Amino acid sequence: MTRAAVLHEGTDVLTIEEITSTPLDPREVRVRTKACGLCHSDYHVIDGTLARPRPHVLGHEAAGIVAEVGSQVTAFAPGDHVVTCLVMGCGDCKRCAQGQPTLCTGGAATKRAAGEPPRQQTLDGRPITGFANVGGLSEEIVIDERGLVAIGDDVPMDLAAILGCAVVTGLGAVFNVADVQPGDSVAVIGCGGVGLNVIQGARIAGASQIIAIDLSPAKLEAAKALGATDTVDASQSDAVAEVQRLSGGGVDHAFEVIGRPATAEQALAMCANGRTAYVLGVMSDDAEFSVRAEYTKRGKSLRGVMMGATRPRVDIPRYVEMWRRGQLDLDGMVSRRLPLDDVNDGFRAMAAGEVNRAVVVFP
């Protein structure tokens, strides 16, 4: 048995309870969780923006130690330190072959087939699903090996956990999608966990101007500490007008990292002619926003970004090396550490904008 934070039907409060897991399939790995970050994507399940079956274990950016491997697993062994990532390319489809696992069309390969026992279940036998095929807010994770990346044991687990989502999404948007170049100008709307990593990525890439936009003075201070050259308090001024003023007519790259139609439209308005806005924030599937025709006439474009177009086993080791060299600040990202029993307060603090990233730390 293992303790986990479970979200049940008809509530927005996680309960800490004991659950059980079943024997491993050939390509599965059992991981003893040591840390798991709290992400807005998890919170969107709590508030109903994302519909998921319940009971449900939240959490998808986790780090831990391999406890057991399935009969066909060769890439990992007990004792290995690993990071989870919800990007689990099957490895066989066309998109995976093209190096685009975030667009994998064979995702069923990393899940148990219909009719098989669930990976985890309640003590009375009800199946439990794990968010993003991970379910990291549990003392033990059972996961397909394609959802894991090995890291060195020199990386503290509380820092390693955020590599699997906040870091890969933010830095990946900069390096893999936008290809920010030295001297470029950047605007980032939303300075939470992912937005702060967009800012870090832009700094590492050599952007000459990085404008951070948020409603929270505390988040704007965090943005400055991690590389922002300018800040805009959107509660005090017209964010679009202020970005255009600071940048001299618009930026080369604008990143929306909140997940609202209005801010996606603002990101496009902040771009200079011929430049691109990127939507990283998670919205409900039925959300809609409009694009003014004059923007297309001026060569502006809007692009969706999924998980930073991440290639986990390429990108995560790369980001670990950036951390080792002092380029990437992970410690400055984690502003609160808490036990599993306090997970609801962690999500409250995240929703209130009190933290850069809160991480649940397991004994």
pLDDT one-digit tens code per residue, 242-281: 999 999 999 999 999 999 999 999 999 999 999 999 999 9
Nearest to 193 by CA among 361, 354, 5: 354
Nearest to 356 by CA among 196, 225, 228, 204: 196
At 51 the pLDDT is: 87
At 284 the pLDDT is: 82
The answer to whether residues 126 and 133 touch, using CB atoms and an 8 Å cutoff, is: no
For 102-150, the pLDDT digits (tens) are 999 999 999 999 889 999 998 888 999 999 999 999 999 999 999 999 9
Residue 96 has pLDDT above 90, yes or no: yes
Go through the domains of the chain in sequence order and give each one's CATH number: 2-164+333-361 (3.90.180.10), 167-307 (3.40.50.720)
At 49 the pLDDT is: 86
Q: What percent of the chain has pLDDT over 70?
A: 100
3-state secondary structure of 160: helix
The answer to whether residues 200 and 171 touch, using CB atoms and an 8 Å cutoff, is: yes
The answer to whether residues 49 and 283 touch, using CB atoms and an 8 Å cutoff, is: yes
The answer to whether residues 272 and 246 touch, using CB atoms and an 8 Å cutoff, is: no
Residue 313 has pLDDT above 90, yes or no: yes
DSSP 8-state code for residue 161: G
At 50 the pLDDT is: 86
pLDDT band with cut points at 50, 70 and 90 for residue 353 = confident
CB atoms near residue 121 (< 10 Å): 16
Q: What share of the chain is helix, strand, coil (3-state, %, to 5)?
A: 35, 25, 40
3-state secondary structure of 359: strand
Average pLDDT of the segment spanning 334-342: 97
At 31 the pLDDT is: 98
Task: Identify the weakest region by mean pLDDT among 56-65, 157-166, 347-356.
Answer: 347-356
Distance CA 246, CA 230 (A): 8
User: Which stretch of DSSP H or E encloses residue 95?
Assistant: helix 94-97
Average pLDDT, the chain: 95
Residue 308 has pLDDT above 90, yes or no: yes
Residue with token string 């508030």: 47
At 32 the pLDDT is: 98
pLDDT band with cut points at 50, 70 and 90 for residue 289 = confident
Residue 283 has pLDDT above 90, yes or no: no
Structure tokens at 81: 């330190």
